[in-house]
Structure 1
């Protein structure tokens, strides 16, 4: 897709009834030129025929973790072995759930495959996800099981002092359970996995479904589950430490960063986006045309809470794939989603949407 076609497609998305003459005036080109661009967009499958109808929504399935997060913050200095006055909050979390939530905000038809306990936490999470438009019908509830829960206690400064993570429920997210949902997974436009699920389930998914797979390593402890399947993934989104672990290359400078990316691509991995925090993202890809690398700086914006930035980034990478964006624009989309997310006190910024990502990418093009 050319830059002009991206621009025209964005205007059509904003106003499906816009005429070719209006498009020509906005773009400063002739109506016949607009007609050529429209014809190309139809051939590429972005719109279908007259009236600028968009193709049926492409379905993406997320296989990963859902948590009920319970946090307590003390009003004063914590007193050990005693009851401390403070504030207790509950919220929905989990890498898989957060990615699915962000994907829904970006207009992606999303399904969530996970395991819930037999409790009221599951009732609450399922209801909340369904309200977002995320289909949870592929998920299952385990009789007598406990929904994954993360409990933490912080001091009066907000620094976490103690935490307990009960994720035993995911041992039930077995290859057999996934196999039973194989038809839906094979029909998906893409699959997203996080490493909270069992290693054998990750290996089953990556070896049984001919679908582009996006993987979030979650942490250095859990990232090792991906070592044997890197070559079966379409996209990997590690941070610096996870990239070092999976590539075996210590990242100290730009040269070693590129080397780590090459080692990962040598496995057969198609695309990698190494998150560098405030230093942006380093992205690489390899295909029939060769290899390509790009570093995109972090998007400007005040950081209020960076907790959910990685999950938003992954969701934006899926969105970019569905819109056939190139490597650099995909990286920009991820950075834009992260910048929007970090401006919220919550893990998810409900104001995230497709138009903001498109505008952020186009704004960057105008600056250049």
Structure 2
């Protein structure tokens, strides 16, 4: 039996955020904002931390620099009970870091240093250790220069040969990203991109057509996040369905996609149906949207599960 519920592998970044910032300060001047924070973020990092907060036993495999930013990320993740033994230190790159001014409508812009996300890789022993979990989540394809391509394919293929459940998400995908992604698709149980990223890769716009395109490429379950409009799901064993998002006052959309994936993973880990897992994922994402940064106001599993049934839903858009 695997040691962990989840291994999250890939993109880890330190986000620094301020709200609200609707314009850049004048040169030499300053703009006063209501709040600032820093958070564990990234397609692997935020998802892993959110899963730990929701009660899963989590390890992460990623890379940071020999710097205070890396020290803080490792310390913060460990403080939430995560195993950080597979977080390596780059000899020449700084920790990946973003500065995010958040506008009053919750949208974000970014100044970004990829840093150690470009140097992350796994040795054979480290890969076997990373696969010691029921669920393997690879997050960040497109920003993992040393791990994209064959190393990622090998990881997912090996995961499936061991009987693991695989989850996959990427970042900043465009029409060229499909070259990195297509060899991975047959090894993916749950593919959880945004509709914008998935549409760019598939060359289609309607969620049903996009989902069918990825299904034909080998993905078992396609889960397309629709930003404020909820989620479209094409299960492997049932009819497609769409679920609405919660009606909440959005503070910041940073990390909503990563937190949705965390909610989905949590439901899958508990043996829930895909519909209930997606419902819970929407609620986790809503908690993140209600606060600043990739954890927002997320607290724990029980509080989130109660909100899944109590918080109002938007009208479903078809």
* TM-score, normalization by structure 2: 0.82
2:195 to 240, 245, 257: 240
Q: Distance in 1 between matches of 2:172 and 2:250?
A: 21
Q: Distance in 2 between matches of 1:99 and 1:60?
A: 10
Aligned residue for 1:189, secondary structure, equals strand
Pair 1:112–1:160, CA change in 2 (3 A): closer
Aligned to 1:49: none
- From the two aligned structures, give the one with the greater helix fraction: 1
1:148 to 96, 99, 103: 96
Aligned residue for 1:95, secondary structure, equals coil
Q: Distance in 2 between matches of 1:147 and 1:87?
A: 27
Pair 1:76–1:303, CA change in 2 (3 A): closer
* TM-score, normalization by structure 1: 0.72
Work out whether 1:264 is the aligned partner of 2:214. yes
Alignment of 1:140-179 (within 5 A): 140-151=88-99, 163-174=110-121, 177-179=122-124
| Cα displacement (A) at 1:232 | 0.8
Post-superposition CA distance 1:253-287 (Å, at most 9, x none): xxxx222212211222111111112322110111x
Structure of higher RCO (CA pairs closer than 8 Å, 6+ residues apart): 2
Root-mean-square deviation (CA, aligned residues, Å) is: 3.0
Pair 1:329–1:65, CA change in 2 (3 A): same
Work out whether 1:103 is the aligned partner of 2:51. yes
CA contact (8 A) 1:115 1:172 kept: yes
Alignment gaps of 5+ in structure 1: 1-54, 252-256
| Cα displacement (A) at 1:127 | 1.0
Aligned residue for 2:86, secondary structure, equals coil
| Larger Rg over CA atoms | 1
| Cα displacement (A) at 1:107 | 0.2
Alignment of 1:48-59 (within 5 A): 58-59=4-5
Alignment gaps of 5+ in structure 2: 312-318
Q: Distance in 2 between matches of 1:346 and 1:259?
A: 32
Pair 1:307–1:160, CA change in 2 (3 A): closer
Aligned to 2:79: 131
Pair 1:153–1:350, CA change in 2 (3 A): closer
CA contact (8 A) 1:341 1:352 kept: no
CA contact (8 A) 1:185 1:209 kept: no
CA contact (8 A) 2:8 2:58 kept: yes
Post-superposition CA distance 1:331-355 (Å, at most 9, x none): 1111111122212233313543211
Pair 1:120–1:316, CA change in 2 (3 A): same
| Cα displacement (A) at 1:157 | 10
